[in-house]
Amino acid sequence: MTETIEVLYDEATLSKRNEELATSIATAGYKKLLVVAVLKGSFIFAADLLRALYRAGVPLEVEFMSLSSYGTGTKSSGTVKVVRDIEVIVKGRDVLLIDDILESGRTLAFARNLLLERGANRADVAVLLDKPGKRVAEINADYVGFECPDKFVVGYGMDKAHSYREVPFVGYLP
């Protein structure tokens, strides 16, 4: 039996928003842009946004970083660990971090600080969803797809206990 997932952002809405985000990223004037996608949650968003950036005429290099702050539950554990690091030198690069959700902000504040400590010129942040009401760390995203209602969402790369990442839209379990 498949569970019903309530749709929050459907495929057409996500696709349209990705093109808009790419257009605004294109106007920021990044030089030698290094995109760092934070795995696992951002993998579908990053794949779509990167292709939208191609259409918007933004050349880039992409790397992946796995960070973990959640176990299998739906509450952040508070500590962030690098599970898999990027493989390039970031010193002197313009970096754009891509993640699925900015919630407490601990994950992205950690990643951003790490890249700046390594000498990145700038480390901007693009997230699909922002849950501003839940912020603990001092960080805001430079690009936000949608301001998300305070629900635990799944799909489009995002999981609940390792399931639902493959769902092609963003939704929540009723």
Restricted to residues 124-153, the positions that interact with ligand IMP (CB under 6 A) are 152-153
Q: What token pair was written down for 35?
A: 């995109």
Q: How far is the CB of 57 from ligand IMP (least distance, A)?
A: 28
Sorted by sequence, the CB contacts under 8 Å of residue 143 that are 6+ apart come out as 21, 24, 25, 124, 125, 126, 127
Number of residues lying near Mg ion (CB under 5 A): 1
Q: How far is the CB of 150 from Mg ion (least distance, A)?
A: 17
- Distance from C-alpha of 131 to C-alpha of 65, rounded to nearest angstrom: 22
Do the Cβ atoms of 151 and 173 come closer than 8 Å? no
- Distance from C-alpha of 160 to C-alpha of 19, rounded to nearest angstrom: 27
Q: From the list ligand IMP, Mg ion, none, which binds 18 (C-beta under 5 to 8 Å, kind-based)?
A: none
Is the Cβ of residue 41 or residue 145 nearer to ligand IMP in the bound state? 41
Restricted to residues 51-90, the positions that interact with ligand IMP (CB under 6 A) are 69-70, 76
Q: What token pair was written down for 49?
A: 């946004």
Q: Which residues bind ligand IMP (CB under 6 A)?
A: 41, 69-70, 76, 99-107, 152-153, 158
